[in-house]
Amino acid sequence: MTAYLITYVSILDEDPTDLLLADGVIAAIGADAATAAEDLQEVETIDGTGLIALPGLVDLHTHLREPGREDTETVETGTRAAAMGGYTAVHAMANTTPVQDTAGVVEQVYHLGQEAGWADVFPVGAVSVGLKGEKLAELGAMAASEARVRVFSDDGMCVHDPVLMRRALEYVKSFDGCIAQHAQDPRLTEGSQMNEGVVSAELGLAGWPSVAEEAIVARDILLTEHVGSRLHICHLSTAGSVRLVRDAKARGLDVTAEATPHHILLTDETARSYDPVFKVNPPLRTQDDVDAVREGLADGTIDIVGTDHAPHAKEDKDCEWAAGAFGMIGLETALSVVQQAMVDTGKFTWQDVARTMSYTPAAIGRLDNQGLPIEVGNPANVCLYDPKATRVIEPSEQVSRSENTPYAGLELPGRVIATFLRGNATVLDGALVQR
């Protein structure tokens, strides 16, 4: 196994130092790294000047589409995209075909991730059978399976029935599980196409009110308080939701929340193009909402950044707005967007990036060997990132099987130079390692 000596690299916000990855772990840091490397037979040296070393990123919210929609993404292609984005672990959402609502299906996805080898894949189990919101799925069996599921979600669909939601919260307490809710009241969003506001009125598109999200967030916080369980709010997008979660945390409830890269950078003004690439669930909101979500991330109200990477076939996006599918890809651009929206604006340090994109998502998912600091003895899950680089996003150059990125033609800061999964390079010199 090749060892890697990375010279003069900054670990997060620290001064430049040397870093040695060997035998799958962080073998040495600082002056000892070069000395230790002399005793190894196969060592590749990487000039880390100007680069930042981040712990391998962990995504709590990825759609890999396999099984069922391999035309849009597979575990193989999705984890290759993850590696290009600096990720060493992703949680694969349950809305596949068949749905990930049994031990057999989650184990299938788990093994596909192991076979691909680009990033660890941790399946998210469905809350309800078939995502129908009528009957609890096999939560216990999925938790006890080889995939060891700890996060459950009907993402794409809201667990709207409060009785079912309560039962799910109660059930997962026995194995320290978490219910990740897609907060969307279906009755308030029937036929909705974009954020309800000035822009939707001007464009004549059916509005999606903020209260449709906030009503579910408020209800589920109350249920969580009553049951004493763990609740995670997926893709939080409104100022009102930020206030609700902030209040829940102030009262000591075990509630966590995520924001997506697109909800901290883009607004509903993008809909003026009528391009369905900007159509997403929940919808892009107003600038006031974007500012509130950024502040929520900055002050810790929102715990993590989750990509909600949602690949779609070309025909599902290359159409009129009303017929377009909801969702956009984001694994390969997430770190750049977070740099632009949070780091370059002074709201985040690189330590904050590690907290929201590695440490905390791994903790929510109860992962043992991901999301750990870059310290001697820890697994060598590392991302090398050049914050001074810039790149214009070209959809055809994305590694994902789909091209529905909302950043096409935009210049974004930063570039992932290398990604290491337990010391094995998956990306070097900004490109996938050929196998």
Per residue in 376-426, pLDDT (tens digit) is 999 999 999 999 999 999 999 999 999 999 999 999 999 999 999 999 999
Catalytic residue among 18, 289, 308, 352: 308
Q: What digits encode the pLDDT tens for the residues 260-276?
A: 999 999 999 999 999 99
- Map tokens 């100007």 to a residue: 50
Q: Exposed, middle or buried by CB within 10 Å (0-12, 13-18, 19+), for 130?
A: middle
| Strands (DSSP E) found in 182-317 | 194-195, 207-208, 231-233, 255-259, 304-305
| Residue-level pLDDT at 192 | 97
Cβ 264 vs Cβ 338: under 8 Å? yes
DSSP string, 98-144: S-S-SHHHHHHHHHHHHHH-SSEEEEPBPSBGGG-SSSB--HHHHHH
Band the pLDDT of 198: cuts 50, 70, 90. Answer: very high
To the question of whether residue 369 is assigned a binding role by annotation, the answer is no
pLDDT digits (tens, 9 = 90+) for 277-287: 999 999 999 99
- Whether the model clears a pTM of 0.75, i.e. scores above it, the answer is yes
Task: State pLDDT tens for residues 11-56.
Answer: 999 999 999 999 999 999 999 999 999 989 999 999 999 999 999 9
What confidence tens digit (pLDDT) does each residue in 222-241 have?
Answer: 999 999 999 999 999 999 99
Do the annotations mark residue 182 as ligand-binding? yes
Give the model's pLDDT for residue 435: 84
Q: Annotation-wise, does 263 bind a ligand?
A: no
| Residue 279: both structure tokens together | 């159509």
List of domains in the chain: 3-53+377-432 (2.30.40.10), 56-364 (3.20.20.140)
Q: Which phi and psi angles does 128 have, rounded to 5°? A: -120, 155
SS3 357: helix
CB atoms within 10 A of CB 272: 11
With bands split at pLDDT 50, 70 and 90, how would you rate the model's confidence at 310?
very high
Is the bond preceding 98 in cis, omega lying within 30 degrees of 0? yes
At residue 60, does pLDDT exceed 90? yes
Residues 6+ apart with CB under 8 A from 67: 96, 97, 98, 105, 108, 109
* 354 CB-contact burial (10 Å; exposed 0-12 / middle 13-18 / buried 19+): buried
Looking at residue 390, its amino acid is: T
Q: Strand ranges (DSSP E) for 318-423?
A: 382-392, 411-421
User: Which residue, 171, 167, 129, 135, is CA-closest to 150?
Assistant: 171
- High-pLDDT (> 70) share of the chain, %: 100
Check the annotation: does 404 bind a ligand.
no
Is 191 buried (19+), middle (13-18) or exposed (0-12) by CB count in 10 A? exposed
3-state SS class at 361: helix
Q: Three-state SS across 19-76?
A: EEEECCEEEEECHHHHHHHCCCCCEEEEECCCCEEEECEEEEEECCCCCCCCCCCCHH
Q: Is 262 annotated as a binding residue?
A: no
The Cα 139–Cα 371 span in angstroms is 25
Is 155 annotated in some ligand binding site? yes
Buried b (16+ CB within 10 A) or exposed e, 20-59: bbbebbbbbbeeebeebbeeeeebeebebeebbbbbbbbb
Query: 327 labelled as ligand-binding?
Result: yes
Peptide bond into 373 cis (omega under 30): no
The total of other beta-carbon atoms located within 10 Å of residue 400's CB is: 23
- Inter-axis angle of helices 75-84 and 103-116, to 10 degrees? 50
Q: Residue 1 has what pLDDT? A: 87
**Cβ–Cβ < 8 Å for 348, 335:** no
Q: What is the pLDDT of residues 328-385, one digit of tens each?
A: 999 999 999 999 999 999 999 999 999 999 999 999 999 999 999 999 999 999 999 9
- Catalytic, 18? Answer no
User: How confident is the model over 65-112, as pLDDT tens digits?
Assistant: 999 999 999 999 999 999 999 999 999 999 999 999 999 999 999 999
pLDDT of 203 reads 97
First to last CA, the chain: 14
Residues 199-218: tens digit of each pLDDT:
999 999 999 999 999 999 99
The mean pLDDT of the chain is: 98
Confidence of residue 160 (pLDDT cuts 50, 70, 90): very high
